[in-house]
Structure 1
């Protein structure tokens, strides 16, 4: 992490944390997203530069916070990419997540990094990172009401699960993509405007992070009423790249109709016990019926929301967990071996499979494929086959375009910006 604008103490602490946290075979070299986002945020949030009142690299001669859209596949290090510069700079920042579980996980990452700092790192007497607040979206409005000083940065983690799109965009989305049943709150356009007003208009930055950032969200962020500086800096994989890690192996479980999905999943798990398994349903309203069906079969599941220990690898997790899909956003469930999707609706688009299963076993870094079994009706089977063909074509294109073809990683071009004559950041060549 040295050479990316971080202090030596923080760079060393982050590298030590990653060595302890990642599988032994994983590399700790910065990912392309980290190599672009960390220096940008470090310069933008440079406290010395801001204290002198000099223009930060993001100002571009206009008022209004800068905006960064960072989208990349699961396992590309997005959390470290935004946490590292926030911690190193001591910025007054808020990180917002869709769920309390994800907020707890990000907090655990921060605590783990701070634990690796040498005593009195940087001459700090207070707890390092004490100006960084991490919270679920439900707590954001109240937190901003009690805040008087403007924020240096606002990070929207899993942004496409945080923001409620305007009705004109929601109406265009297929039913499977509309967040009708969520286990968390959503930021309305009015809430988003209020949140952005809390950011320092001269030196502040809004960071929107996700595995994929869709067109309705990009159009929404262009709304001049938000007061964001244009153009946006866009980082991550190129358009057309598959959001699904190549190590996820998806197989179908044919069923006659939607009502037969849960019974088919119970039969499958009863016939093949032993593997650590995650069963995924549409919404929290269907968790109870799934728990009851699995219990009747003698499988004794545990609900994800009851598992604070799931985020602490030192504890022994249960072998069978049930969760609704929205609660899984961003969670790192590294002990699981098998994901079974029993949703009444087929997850769409393909990015939703990454959100549901991509974190299992750190799929992008695992030596073996993560198994994902999807219960599908005959009509859904055709749709799933089409999505998987698209996924394979994207992987093939990525491999042929990447030096040393055969690597499973997707290409990462230079940062792209929304069309606008005034650049906000010159990425080093």
Structure 2
């Protein structure tokens, strides 16, 4: 694992998005610290209120013990997985918190009232909304009624109710946000692993599609050179130069894959393919009748041409090959056909085309699907294997209407 992956997998510290930039999402440790600080602050206010009542040491001990119990139960309720705990567990801890919130209220009066806010927040955290919000309102109304019965003014009673409800919302909001931050950071490592895996798949797919053709051509030309050397040294020298050119192109393709820039041209690829096939004695017929194609579609179709010719060279004894491309109703269609196909090989290639995760035709199916296109293959009764790729043209692209260009190479 490299240093960047290790940094992405760290549970704390600034979060990184997939482009490597620092995001503003706080770390779970910071979110939990803020939540605990706020709850400790509310508890400290209640402790100060109790100490200001001039109670006996025993009463102070009881009050502080109850305060610690409420605080501890609130920590349990504010944990991110608390809502997924069994119902009986949530009901038991809520009942205990209710006892520690309301029983001391009878002993210490309104000085204990802030603890009702913790119970209100716990209700919102642990219960379904249909039950939680009515209970939340009932707790605030209870504090208003209790304060009024104790002889407080209407304003003081409203203040007691409002303080309880606001405290509940603060506890609920901070606890929910802490859970959200914790989940985001838990998913961060998964996202990093997915990004790395996706890049590996891209590299593997592009390496196969770009190098398969060149390596097959190098193999064929090397065999041709071996046959030409004894009798036709000048022709062999020309073929060696062609092999060197293909080798340099393969190196350039590897660099393109590594950097992510893989723009290719269908017309240029057709010219190179025809030259290569002609040099090994294969009769080629081409008919390219398309205007300018968007770069993404052009690259995909050029890749289809490479892989189609590579498959023909690998899996058949080709003597004739046809390459046709045209556009109609906003769709561009590329058709590649060749003879000399073994039926067993054709069946296996067709199965790969149906498998987006495979190599070869599976890669092409994946590429075309991503741009809204499709790939079909067919072995005819005449022994010809045909592969047809269709892809939509960009609707905003303005394309002139040039005349057809047709070459027949024999």
Same fold (TM over 0.5): no
TM-score normalised to the size of structure 2? 0.21
Which is strand-richer, 1 or 2? Answer: 1
Identify, as 1 or 2, the structure richer in helix. Answer: 2
Greater length-normalized contact order (CA 8 Å, ≥ 6 residues apart): 1
TM score, norm. by length of structure 1: 0.20
Q: Which entry has the higher C-alpha Rg, 1 or 2?
A: 2
